[in-house]
Amino acid sequence: MTINLQNMTTKEKLMTMELLWDDLCKNQINFASPGWHEKVLIGREKAVADGKDEFEDWEDAKNEILNRIK
């Protein structure tokens, strides 16, 4: 399979990535994340707990990204 990324808009690329992630999440039940993922998540949780970062609603974040690239 070949995807011509050069001819895709940024919006099309982001939409394609979202479709791929959705499919992987639904169909890769036995997939084990690499060990470094846990370290990153722990660091992010600490940043939130320390008030250095905060969560944003995923739908809001996606809309913000899509609005920036229009």
Q: What is the pLDDT of residues 44-70, one digit of tens each?
A: 999 999 999 988 899 999 899 889 887
Question: 57 in a domain, yes or no?
Answer: yes
Would residue 20 count as lying in a domain? no
Q: Which residue has the tokens 């809309």?
A: 63
Residue 24: what pLDDT?
83
Q: Cα(11)–Cα(1) distance, rounded to whole angstroms?
A: 21
DSSP letter at 33? P
Answer whether residue 42 is part of any domain: yes
Q: Does residue 32 lie within any of the structural domains?
A: no
Residue 16 domain flag: no
**What is the number of structural domains in the chain?**
1
> Does the residue 17 lie in any domain?
no
Q: 56 is in which domain, residue-wise?
A: 37-70
pLDDT at 2 over 90: no
- Give the whole-number percent of the chain exceeding pLDDT 90: 53
The vertex-62 CA angle with 70 and 47, nearest 5°, equals: 130
Residue 3 lies in a domain: no
CB count within 10 Å of CB 56 equals 9
Q: Is residue 66 part of a domain?
A: yes
- The larger pLDDT score, comparing residue 23 to residue 32, is at 23
